[in-house]
Amino acid sequence: MQLSRIHFLVEHVKQCLSREGQVSTDRIFAEKRVSCLNLRIDGARMLHSVLMRFAGESISRRLYPLLALTSADDVTAKDTIRDSIVAYVRAKQQPVSCGELRQRFVDKLGFSYQSVMAACLADGILRYLNGILVHVDTIGWVDHKQSQLVQMAERYYSEQVRAGEVFARADVLLELHESELPLLAHGVDWTPILIAELLEKTSESAFLAIVAMLLCSYQMSTPRCFADFVATILERHFHGAASPALSSCHC
């Protein structure tokens, strides 16, 4: 009797996976809580172990809480939620909103909001706009394009220094030099946030992306602390203050 109930759970999971491709054990436990408790399965982690034990080869042996059907291109049990989200963003071949990721992976598949948002920081995923992400493969980003962008930003910063400034803005760089920027794949257009994100991630660049999509360098003629530097930016360009929305690049 107990085995038949367990097999019923397995079949339910397989049906969900056939529709969705993958699902969270937390969602299955929430849907079948009474059935699980009747089987003395008192939590999602225990349910995950039971499914791994009784599903045979039909369900891939993934780390909790990820459940997926076994397929010919199945990789390893080390596949994680992060791997799934990175693969999803890459497969879209266009910028993807954090709202879409929340709707699919949190609301529909049952993964935790925190784990989904943490996955958005994975290698290969870039901020495109506030609340919108893109994969490096989508924009066809390679080393020589990175070098080209860094050199262009450094030239532009040097021009700004000669003009009496101590920083340069990514949005102005884009406005003045968009035609000189490396071409992005899949028809994706440049944004100031994407420029700042790519420069922030490179070890070759002296720049750091900060408030209001700025490209900043600390090679100033007079020493000053970081707080004074930010105060100068706000005073010159934002009348001493800026909306929190300007500095928010999170999902």
CA distance 128 to 193: 6
Statement: residue 207 has pLDDT above 60? no
Q: What is the pLDDT of residue 235?
A: 72
Statement: residue 223 has pLDDT above 50? no
The structure tokens listed for 74 are: 């199945």
Q: At residue 127, what is the residue type?
A: R
Name every residue whose Cβ is closer than 8 Å to that of residue 59 and which is 6 or more positions away in sequence.
10, 13, 14, 17, 51, 52, 67, 68, 69, 70
pLDDT per residue as tens digits for the range 120-133 = 888 899 999 989 99
Q: What is the pLDDT of residue 1?
A: 52
- Per-residue pLDDT band for 206 (boundaries 50, 70, 90) equals very low
Q: What is the pLDDT of residue 221?
A: 43
Q: What is the pLDDT of residue 96?
A: 95
Q: What is the pLDDT of residue 52?
A: 87
Q: What is the pLDDT of residue 218?
A: 37
- Per-residue pLDDT band for 55 (boundaries 50, 70, 90) equals confident
- Per-residue pLDDT band for 228 (boundaries 50, 70, 90) equals low
Q: Global pTM?
A: 0.66
